[in-house]
Amino acid sequence: MKRALQLLARVAGATLLTLLLLEAVLQLGAVVVRMTGRETPVPLEAGAGVTRLLALGDSNTYGLYLEREQAYPALLAARWNRDLPGSLQVVNLGYPGNNSSVILRDLAANLREHRPQIVTIMVGVNDFWTIPVETAGDSSAGAGLGAALRSRSRVYKLGYMLWRSVAGPLKDTTVVRTEDPSARRLDRNLDRIAEIVEQHEARLLVLTYPYGELQNHCNRRLRGFAERAGLALVDTTDAYASRCGSTHCEELLFFDNHPSAAGHEMIARLLDQALR
């Protein structure tokens, strides 16, 4: 019995040490990503006739696997400024792993800092497999040690993502239910985002994802959001389907359905057309 308890203690100690080391590595990686991956704010121009656009979203807006100038926000600015030099400034606040609660939490501060006239948003996929953060008026995150673990521990977040991959909507994206708490939270967050953008007297445009099963579920929610809020919708899904049909198209997408350089060029072109 004593030997068994000693063995159990060793296993528990080794497990705890492994988790602590993993936590340290993940936290260090997060610091590196924050330092190297965030958008550098564009200096405000003093002259008249300059429009500022704030692009909100996740890795699909960030431009995963690509250089920053290859992502659709930068491509939009390049297209626009070829015709009217210096007339459009774009700040890309898309970030890998972003969900709607993160965008909502930071929105008012970002609007005050960047003072955009136009805001675009493509978000929703990560809402179904990442932990939401607490936002104003939503205390569902709770308090105490459990809440601290949920908000700060990278190991906890990794475990949550793995669990949602097995037991959540990623297990079968064709049957994501409207009553899923993540879906209801996404709807509430999107509605609140629209209210805050309107309060800051900016114009909000909603973008759909080009392709993917879970992306298509999010697209239904994004289209519903745009309709009930009376917002302009830039439907990248239709443009993708017109070129590739209902199958994965390597020309426009990477293996995991993130837009390729050509896919970002397509989105930039659609945004350009919607804004002119």
pLDDT tens digits for the chain (276 residues)? 666 655 665 655 555 555 455 445 444 544 444 555 555 555 555 456 789 999 999 999 999 999 999 999 999 999 999 988 889 999 999 999 899 999 999 999 999 999 999 999 999 999 988 888 877 656 554 444 444 455 555 444 445 545 455 555 555 555 455 567 888 899 999 999 999 999 999 999 999 999 998 899 899 999 999 999 999 999 999 999 999 999 999 999 999 999 999 999 999 999 999 998
145: enclosing H helix or E strand: helix 145-152
Task: Please give the pLDDT value at position 178.
Answer: 56
Instruction: Give residue-wise pLDDT tens across range 139-149.
Output: 554 444 444 45
- Strands (E) in the chain, as ranges, are 51-57, 88-92, 118-122, 203-207, 232-234
pLDDT at position 67: 96
Task: Report the Cα–Cα distance between both ends of the chain, in Å, rounded.
Answer: 77
Residue 233: phi, psi to the nearest 5?
Answer: -115, 125
The 3-state DSSP class for residue 97 equals coil
* Predicted confidence (pLDDT) per residue in 220-229, tens digit: 999 999 999 9
Q: What angle do the packed helices 181-199 and 213-229 form, to 10 degrees?
A: 40
Q: Is 118 helix (H, G, I), strand (E, B) or coil?
A: strand
pTM listed for this prediction: 0.79
Ramachandran category for residue 65: left, alpha or beta (phi over 0 → left; psi -120 to 50 → alpha) = left
Homologous superfamily (CATH) of 50-138+173-275 is: SGNH hydrolase (3.40.50.1110)
